[in-house]
A and B are shown apart, each in its own frame.
Chain A
Amino acid sequence: MTDVEIIEKAKTLFGDKIVEIANPAKRRIFMTVEVRNLTAVVAGLRKEIHLWYLATVSGLDAGEFYEILYHFGHENGSLTIRTKIPKSDAHLESICPIIPGAILYERELQDMFGIVIDNIPDPRPLVLPDDWPAGNFPLRKDWKYERPEEKIPGGTK
């Protein structure tokens, strides 16, 4: 399907669930949806347009909001669903029931941004170490790494 066909089909399928849909470059579609419609839209895309391949999920710290981008690939390009969640209530519904391959990307979001994914099948940390201090989310813009003071055993002078 070409970009125009996908945009037309998405518009007829989802109607006013789509806040904005843009085609900034050839084979790139960016579509904004509200977070409450996210799972419905992902399920619709999977079923009706056969977008089975989720390339990745990108998180983004945009000041007051987190932007979450679901990048899908298809035979003729890619489609990205963008959704925003407020930092004060960073909750997101898991899309694993629709696309099981999303699990690692959702776990990474939890690790890196502290976004809580509701109904995630496997909530364990993915990439951060076991002794990582709670409440530290590295990819938030206000998080800065401070190297702990080096202590050499026996070297107290």
Chain B
Amino acid sequence: MKFNIPIGPQHPALKEPISLRMTVEGEIIRDADIRLGYNHRGLEKLAEERTWIQNIYLTERICGICSHSHTTCYVQGVEKLMEIEPPQRGLYIRTLVAELERVHSHLLWLGVAGHEAGFDSFFMYTWRDREVVMDILEMISGNRVHYAMNTLGGVRRDIDEGQRKHILDSLETLRARSEFYLKIGANEPTFVARLAGVGYLSKEKAMDLCAVGPTARASNVARDVRRDDPYAAYDETPFDVCTAETCDVLGRTVVRIKELFESYKIIEFLLKNLPAGAISVKAPTKAKPNEVLSRYEAPRGENTHYIKSNGTNKPERLKIRAPTLANYPATVEMLKNGFIADIPLIFAAIDPCICCAERTVETLDARSGEEKTLRFSELRKLADERYKKLSPKRNAVWPF
């Protein structure tokens, strides 16, 4: 018997409105459907009515966690349209903030992963250490969320010697803490047992469904825009692309922890080799008719902006593709054949069979599609027979 369960759009486990419709058969999810649009703000249309400068602040507000990602992606595209080249120091600071943002985003995700796995002390530890990065970002930019560092032609704030030293000192703490997280994330038996094999996404499926970022890399797809299509200061920066072969939530956790270390390496390199000079150049107000495709590796995966100019001070078209959208088809795939308990979390409270069974229920046989009307007593008889024969656990298809 199949049931449809809606999750969301308002739901404590999902911080943003999205509606998931699960088709479940017993404990196992057979199909999942995603409904979007609860948060659609018409930004692309709005961007056509704003000037190049105003759009920086608009794109910054697409997301709170990766606000620097969207502005960088937008700004580096517009710089190409305007044919200006930001100074090297500006690019280094831009990259530095991008990596600090990746660190805070990955630490945040680790905490959430720990929380959803029922490991709340992990959540508290990672979020405490995330404050170290948040303080650095506040020190550099004056803000914790919307840093407003980017402008057309460079960045808006410089870094002085004291700040540089403070960041390098803080890196020591973060490194030591992250080593501890790697030890826990990859070795702590209960945590590993909860994460291993959950949300399986094979390499072939990840490629078919165009997955991006740590999701793709955990399925052993070594794609990273920072290496494949270097922007800002990444072509001068040494780092490795982290992958995992387990294709599950454990792999995604390990990839993110490893990426933390790569980010620390990049931050250290950038600070030790920070070139002297100006941080920005003056940008014109208009851009010649042209088009540009700008790519950026956000903490969650590749961010793509397609920008077309028409000679005025406003864009003709700004197309934004955020990484999460690219990962939705893969998410549906991961949910399939998993357990309800793997979708956090309130599903356990819904008992889909009993609530309306007091009257007659219409059942649809999942295998034959046969429809029939049953009385509650008949339903119970069916259930008894089924449970006498086999336990539902044994009948379940494990996702690995």
Say yes or no: is B53 at the interface (Cβ < 8 Å to chain A). no
Q: List A95-133 residues whose CB lies under 8 Å from chain B.
A: 99-105, 112, 125-129
Segment of A7-15, A70-78, A84-92, A146-154 in the binding face: A70-78
Residue of B44, B210, B225, B229 touching A99 (CB-CB under 8 A): B210
Q: List B302-352 residues whose CB lies under 8 Å from chain A.
A: 302, 304, 306, 308, 316-317, 319, 321, 325-326, 328-330
Say yes or no: is A139 at the interface (Cβ < 8 Å to chain B). yes
Q: Is the interface of B mostly helix, strand, loop or mixed?
A: mixed
Say yes or no: is A65 at the interface (Cβ < 8 Å to chain B). no
Say yes or no: is A17 at the interface (Cβ < 8 Å to chain B). no
Q: Give the chain B neighbours of A129 by CB distance below 8 A.
A: 37
Q: Give the chain A neighbours of B80 by CB distance below 8 A.
A: 25
User: Does A55 contact B321, Cβ atoms closer than 8 Å?
Assistant: yes
B14-49 vs A, Cβ < 8 Å mask (1 yes, 0 no): 000000000000000000000011001010110000
CA distance A127 to B291 in the complex (A): 26
Most buried by B among A54, A58, A127: A58
Residue of A27, A52, A78, A126 touching B36 (CB-CB under 8 A): A126
Q: Give the chain A neighbours of B302 by CB distance below 8 A.
A: 55, 73
Q: Which residue of A lies closest to B38 (CB)?
A: A129
Q: Give the chain B neighbours of A52 by CB distance below 8 A.
A: 207-208, 210
Say yes or no: is A80 at the interface (Cβ < 8 Å to chain B). yes
User: Does A69 contact B210, Cβ atoms closer than 8 Å?
Assistant: no
Say yes or no: is B283 at the interface (Cβ < 8 Å to chain A). no
Residue of A73, A138, A145 touching B228 (CB-CB under 8 A): A73
Q: Which residue of A lies closest to B40 (CB)?
A: A127
Q: A58-B306, A73-B228, A127-B40 are in contact. Are A53 and B321 (CB under 8 A)?
A: no
Give 15 A-B pairs besides A112-B44, A125-B37, A145-B42 with Cβ atoms closer than 8 angstroms: A25-B292, A28-B292, A53-B223, A55-B295, A56-B304, A56-B319, A60-B308, A73-B223, A73-B229, A76-B229, A78-B229, A100-B329, A101-B209, A105-B321, A126-B37
List chain B positions with a Cβ less than 8 A from chain A: 36-37, 40, 42, 44-45, 80, 207-212, 223, 225, 228-229, 291-293, 295, 302, 304, 306, 308, 316-317, 319, 321, 325-326, 328-330
7 intermolecular pairs with C-beta atoms under 8 Å apart: A53-B207, A55-B210, A56-B319, A58-B306, A60-B308, A73-B228, A101-B208
